[in-house]
Amino acid sequence: MEFRIERSELAEAVAWAARVLPARSPVPVLGGLLLDAGSGTLRISGLDYEASARIEVEADVVRPGRVLVMGRRLVDVCKVLPAGTVECSVDGSRFSVVSDGARFGLSVLPFDDYPALPALPEFRGVVDAEVFAAAVGHVAVAAGRDDTLPVLTGVRVAFEGETMTLAATDRYRYAVRTLGWKPQEPDASGEAVVPARRLTDIARSLARSGMVRIALDRGSIGFENGGMRITTRLVEGQLPRHNKLFGLTPAAVAVTDRKPLLEAVRRVAVVAEGDSPLQLDFSDGSVSLRAGYEDDVASQRLPSALEGAPEMTVAFNPSYLVDALSSFDAPVVRFNLLGPGQRALLTGLSSADDRDSPPAHRHLLMSVKPLV
């Protein structure tokens, strides 16, 4: 096996395939990357028992062949190679990497115990990669981190016709985002729960790749674009449905500019310790933010509009409120409020007067006991 390739292309391809490698594995070969060179193409693959990744790049192949080498070590080597053409070859039990006088020799792993790359699931449709990545970012912040409740660490990916819905919850918040996509069949429908961390990483890695093909079956979901394809196993179980939770009527409605509110929440929350809440006092014309107890307190007042009540006081976990406000792209945020200790629904608006457009992105938060 022998091939030549530009350092930047090799480094990017190796890093992309290595994203699925386990940090630690009782099976040493699962820490390896499989390099397969032939017909002007270098194919790099990595996998563990939960996910797989493969990328194809152009290369000047002198002698076809394949080799399995430690993935993390190859990533580190590629980072420090000099710019220019890299010459790679297999000599016995060593994989040589040479560039501008720098030479590395890496030990070769045996193929015998290396599993085959899983097949891509059934093709279901295509979605704009950039839009999909943004949508995943909008909802993944609400996914749980407690591995003892695995289904809550996932994002539900559901599609019905030409609409895809992403949703995530950790029981204290619930984010939902809808977007358009092009299904393979006009009446296609289905859903799956995908690990949130894995889905976030996949979406980011494909964000600039145009239209992405999505494949899905009962056990796994796959994404493919050009020479890149990645699969991951699904999380068993189902997330609770959000339709009834999001029905907040009758409710008071508060509207304010999102960025100034986000900045104020971050500023005031500096004095909030542990589970200390951040309180928002809405009235017609302003919202007052307050946090802290006794000697360490902070407050700030911002313009706001309130309808449906003369005043409304709610309090939130500051970090949850920051996550929710940060997940929106819209300049204005609307709060549908039931009262202290009850649900609050946040939606993004293009302007304070935009009340009729159906929201594509919604974020539900449980409010907590207000400050005394």
- What would the pLDDT profile of 269-302 be if each residue is shown by its tens digit? 999 887 799 999 999 899 999 999 878 899 999 9
Domain ranges for the chain = 2-107, 123-233, 252-366
DSSP string spanning 85-115? EEEEEEETTEEEEEETTEEEEEEBPPSTTPP
CA distance 54 to 43: 7
CA distance 127 to 52: 20
pLDDT of residue 295: 80
User: Per CATH, which fold does 2-107 belong to?
Assistant: DNA Polymerase III; Chain A, domain 2 (3.10.150)
Domain 123-233 sits in which CATH superfamily?
A: DNA Polymerase III, subunit A, domain 2 (3.10.150.10)
pLDDT of residue 275: 74
Give yes or no for residue 349 having a pLDDT over 70. yes
Each residue of 332-359: b (16+ CB within 10 Å) or e? bbbbbbbeeeebbbbbbbeeeebeeeeb
CA distance 43 to 58: 9
Q: Are 285 and 274 in contact (CB under 8 A)?
A: no
pLDDT of residue 49: 84
pLDDT-derived band of residue 23, with 50, 70 and 90 as boundaries?
A: confident
**pLDDT tens across 225-235, in order?**
989 999 999 99
Give yes or no for residue 356 having a pLDDT over 70. no
Q: Where are the beta strands (DSSP E) in 196-310?
A: 211-216, 220-225, 228-233, 252-257, 278-283, 285-293, 296-307
1: Cα separation from own chain's centroid = 37
CA distance 8 to 324: 37
Which token pair is 64? 């076809």
Percent of the chain at pLDDT > 90 equals: 81
Give yes or no for residue 60 having a pLDDT over 90. yes
**Amino acid identity, residue 301?**
R
pLDDT of residue 372: 64
CA distance 351 to 7: 47
For residues 172, 177, 178, 184, the Cα torsion angle rounded to the nearest 10 degrees is -90
pLDDT of residue 324: 97
CA distance 318 to 266: 8
pTM: 0.91
Give yes or no for residue 352 having a pLDDT over 80. no
CA distance 294 to 284: 28
CA distance 130 to 214: 14
Within 13 Å, how many C-alpha atoms sit on residue 95's CB side?
24
User: Per CATH, which fold does 252-366 belong to?
Assistant: DNA Polymerase III; Chain A, domain 2 (3.10.150)
Longest Cα–Cα distance of the chain, Å, equals: 80
The answer to whether domain 123-233 and domain 252-366 are alike in fold is yes
pLDDT of residue 104: 97
**pLDDT tens across 119-145, in order?**
999 999 999 999 999 999 999 999 999
**pLDDT tens across 186-242, in order?**
988 999 999 999 999 999 999 988 999 999 998 999 999 989 999 999 999 999 999
Q: Are 40 and 57 in contact (CB under 8 A)?
A: no
CA distance 176 to 174: 7
pLDDT-derived band of residue 251, with 50, 70 and 90 as boundaries?
A: confident
Based on DSSP, count helices (H) and strands (E) in the chain, helices before strands.
6, 26
